A and B are shown apart, each in its own frame.
Chain A
Amino acid sequence: MERLIKIGAEANIYLSLWHGLEVIRKVRRPKPYWREELDLKIRRIRTIRETYYINLVKKFGVLTPIIYFSDPFKGEIVMEYINGERIKDIVENDIKRCYDLFYELGRKLATMHTHNIIHGDPTTSNFIVKEDKLYAIDFGLTFYSQRIEDKAVDIHLLKQVIKSAHPKYFEEIFGKVIVGYSSVYTLASKILENVKEIEKRGRYATF
């Protein structure tokens, strides 16, 4: 018995049973718009990366699901089911509760960046809250880099998403992210400067 609970941008997410445990089975789909050789390669690489980084960041205190099984050739990962709420949904329902969560999100992102790990897709749907603890998920685009630019792109992506998906609360919650981020990472101000540079590259930007 297995149930499809979400069609993600690149994977199907199933709620499944694995040796009697309730688990998530994440299966990367072939992309119909990628050429086949490219598609196989990318799916394999992203499955390996995700497995590796989900395990690695635990060592730095970033909570992630436990990986039970990973098969790069099938593009498939079996992992712990975090039965919580996505931050994305909490923002719309209970903004007060969010302030601490976004502060914590900033801290988690900074922790990863301190160790030169770039999440690659830090949107509000990739952080889950369970029993007041914040879990990070979806590490398929994660990579290692010491470059300021790569870290700034991570922050810029989160900023863009908050601004576009939660415009009413943008100032407050992105402010919290920055405070949390700066409390952990000594290079924070340098990276935020670079975020502004990236924004200027947008078409018709005048600021």
Chain B
Amino acid sequence: MNENRLLCLGIESTAHTFSVAVLTENKILSNEKEVYVPPPGEGIHPYEAAQHHLRKAKKVLQDALVKSRVNIKDINVIAFSAGPGLGPCLRVGAVVARTLANYYNKPLTAVNHAIGHIELANFFAKTNDPVVVLVSGGHTLVSTYLLKKWRIFGETLDITLGQLFDQLGRELGFNSPAGKYIEELASKGKKYLQMPYSVKGNNVSFSGLLTYAKNLIKKGYSKEDVCYSVQETAFAMLTEVTERLLAFSEKKEVLLTGGVAANLRLQEMIKSLCEVHNSKFHVIPREFSGDCGAQIALVGLLQYKTKNLVEIKDSVVRQSWRIDEVDVTWRD
């Protein structure tokens, strides 16, 4: 075994997922998770989710260490998701991380969850200077990197794509995250129903679309057609904004990441746009698109290498933390 390799243990607990991963710079050794599932037709309850994480924390941590075949004493740094997310959930991850760091005397580093989505996608795609499209339950934005920060060019001004699908799913009696159910229904839809299309400048807005779709369902329109039309409309909005950033920034790569990146129709649409602009299309592998410890561990390792650490007494969680506030110490 290589003695010089750097090892990071990362803990993710921003919302419904509690996950622990162990990785080195070029290999993910383990990535274990437990997902809190609310009752059908209901959304995530922050307190219930936090209780779930507390119950599962020990098992997930143990599994991750066993599977990675790493002794915790050999870990170089402990990373945790410090935000953005639900307060009660974030605190569970933070407490586990602080305890490990204190007991085993390891350095601690606080990771922005969204930066994790971006870096993990890049871990597989090895992009150079992409337009990033980040779509998940917490984020919907397009961004490029410049001078130590991910710069937000366009974003949602109300709910995210993930929330759009979750809330539509709730109306249909599914539990969150509902993206995969919506996608399945949409694939059976045939008729396109006219939907509100809302792009303001480089920003998008989905709340009008959600209300409209919910009303159509109440009126008895086919679920399949509604889901299909919602997907087509919401993705067209996002793709238009992406295209505008691609044309403006004159970059040659697009990186699609976040939970909603797993949607095949969205991938297809962004890909078609890349072809027009002679740009390369990259998407995060399906099994890593949702929230996971690997995204935290990876950024944790990059932060450790650039001495971007945090003292336990300062290791607070931040429910609101925009990606353009994060100093990216490991990129030029």
Interface residues of A (CB under 8 A from B): 7-10, 29, 31-35, 120-121, 123, 125, 153-154, 156-157, 160-161, 163-165, 167-168, 198, 201-206
Contact = CB atoms under 8 A, between A and B. Distances in A.
Contacts of B155: 202-203
B51 to A, nearest CB: 25
Contacts of B192: 35
Contact of B232 (A7, A31, A35, A198): A35
B107 to A, nearest CB: 26
Contacts of A160: 152-154, 201-202
B327 to A, nearest CB: 13
A33 B247 contact: no
Chain A interface main SS type: loop
9 nearest A-B pairs in the assembled complex, by CB-CB distance: A157-B201, A164-B151, A9-B247, A32-B272, A204-B320, A33-B269, A201-B157, A9-B244, A33-B239
11 contacts: A31-B243, A33-B269, A33-B273, A34-B236, A153-B203, A156-B201, A157-B201, A164-B143, A164-B146, A203-B141, A204-B322
Interface of B: 84, 138-141, 143-144, 146-147, 149, 151-158, 160, 192, 200-203, 232, 235-236, 239-240, 243-244, 246-249, 269, 272-273, 275-278, 319-322, 324
B217 to A, nearest CB: 21
Nearest to B197: A38
A202 B248 CA distance: 21
A154 B203 CA distance: 11
A185 to B, nearest CB: 18
A153 to B, nearest CB: 5
A165 B145 CA distance: 9
B201 A203 contact: no
A50 to B, nearest CB: 16
Given A7-B277, A32-B273, A165-B249, A203 B147 contact: no
Contact of B201 (A7, A29, A35, A121): A121
Given A7-B276, A203-B141, A33 B236 contact: yes
Given A154-B201, A157-B203, 4 more contacts: A33-B240, A35-B192, A202-B157, A205-B320
A197 to B, nearest CB: 10
A203 B232 contact: no
Contacts of A120: 201
Nearest to B141: A203
